[in-house]
Each structure stands twice: as C-alpha cells, then as structure tokens.
Chain A
Amino acid sequence: QQQVKQSPQSLIVQKGGISIINCAYENTAFDYFPWYQQFPGKGPALLIAIRPDVSEKKEGRFTISFNKSAKQFSLHIMDSQPGDSATYFCAATRDQAAGNKLTFGGGTRVLVKP
C-alpha cells in the first residue's frame, strides 16, 4: 500500500532530447508528489513537486504530469543537458498527516550524452 514504483531504472538521452520518467503509486491517501535530483556524492535535492488538484506543473525545463485516476505521475526533462545527468527519485506522501514521511521510488539514473 505504501509502494511507489518508478521506471525506467536507467535512461540515456542525447543532448537536447526529452527524458521521461514514470511513477505509479498505490495509496490513494497520498496528496503530495515531489521529485528529487541527486548527483553523485550529494544528498537528494527537491526539484519540483505537484499536488493532485492539478494535472501538470512546469518549472523551466522540468514538467510533472499527473494522472489521478491512473495513480501515475511522470517527470519530463525537456531539452536535456549533460548537467542534468543525475539520479532522479519520485516520492509520495500524505502532506498534512502527522508524522508524514516520504515514500521514495526506486530511482532512475539519467545520462545525457553531449
């Protein structure tokens, strides 16, 4: 019930291409869905987040698409750059619940080739 499934595990994209990472969740009580970016040797950093009351959120080259009925959400990285090469984690939580905790997906290692 707490699981978040993420795919693909790894992704290679050419510079300028689009990277797409998908996540699916089971717990319908989840109401906050952040994406984290992690570079080697660093901790994860919040990239972008969405709530289920909107179907899409865009920040620069990063867009989250959200499908509440399918319990799926995805991250699109437009015009991918070599500096975007990192591991990306989707996550889900019950935002306002006491003791709310993030449930992470398995991660996607993205490599952008110049």
Chain B
Amino acid sequence: SAVISQKPSRDICQRGTSLTIQCQVDSQVTMMFWYRQQPGQSLTLIATANQGSEATYESGFVIDKFPISRPNLTFSTLTVSNLSPEDSSIYLCSGRDETKNIQYFGAGTRLSVL
C-alpha cells in the first residue's frame, strides 16, 4: 500500500502568516487531493492537485488562499495563506492508486492559528 508522509504534523501560527504543508507519497499515484477536517467532523475536499498544472478547487476554496503545487507524481504542497483563527483545522493529503482503486491518506497536519 502507498505510504503518505505529511509534514509538519502540527504547527501553531500567528494570524496573518502562512503555513506550507508538504506531502510525499512513496509510490506513484495518479491523483492527489487535499482535505480539511475539523476535529470530530467529516472531511471536506479543498482541491485536486494536478501534476504540472493548476489545482482544481472545490466550491468555497480559492487559489489565493490555498495555493497548491504538484511538481511531480509523488510530491505536493498546500499553503494556507493569510491565516486567521478560522483556518485552525486538520489538513489531510490523499493519494489515489488507480491500479488498486484505493485512496490513501496521510496522518494530517494539525494547524492552530492564534
């Protein structure tokens, strides 16, 4: 199975700053995704990270706030910009192995904004 590594695992940031989260997959996946999860709640898809092109954002999420890069098949970053306390959440990276029809998740990055 694919192993998805995220870092940092947690961070505390000041209002107005930005945090970049890195996601590394140990095998090639065709699709990578970024999710947000409030503690105790379900997962909300932020965007699909497309290799070498602009990410595809879901309704309510914009590139200026959540810029995403995916320079190759196994690596992606999510930046949460201009942080506010409302951005405090868990951010999860996910990769889909089309050959096995399985979507894997990283352990998440717990962000707290003061």
Q: Which A residues are within 8 Å of any B CB, using their own CB?
A: 32, 34, 36, 41-46, 49, 87, 89, 95, 99, 101-102, 104-107, 109
Contact = CB atoms under 8 A, between A and B. Distances in A.
A89 B42 contact: yes
Interface of B: 4, 31, 33, 40-43, 45, 48, 56, 92, 94, 101-108
Given A43-B4, A99-B48, A101-B33, A106 B105 contact: no
B22 to A, nearest CB: 15
B104 to A, nearest CB: 8
Main SS class of interface, B: strand
A102 B107 contact: no
Given A99-B48, A104-B43, A41 B107 contact: yes
Contacts of B31: 99
Nearest to B41: A107
Contact of A43 (B45, B48, B56, B105): B105
Nearest to B93: A43
B102 A46 contact: yes
Given A101-B33, A101-B48, A106 B41 contact: yes
A104 B58 CA distance: 14
A21 to B, nearest CB: 13
Contacts of A95: 101
6 contacts: A43-B92, A44-B105, A89-B43, A101-B45, A102-B103, A106-B41
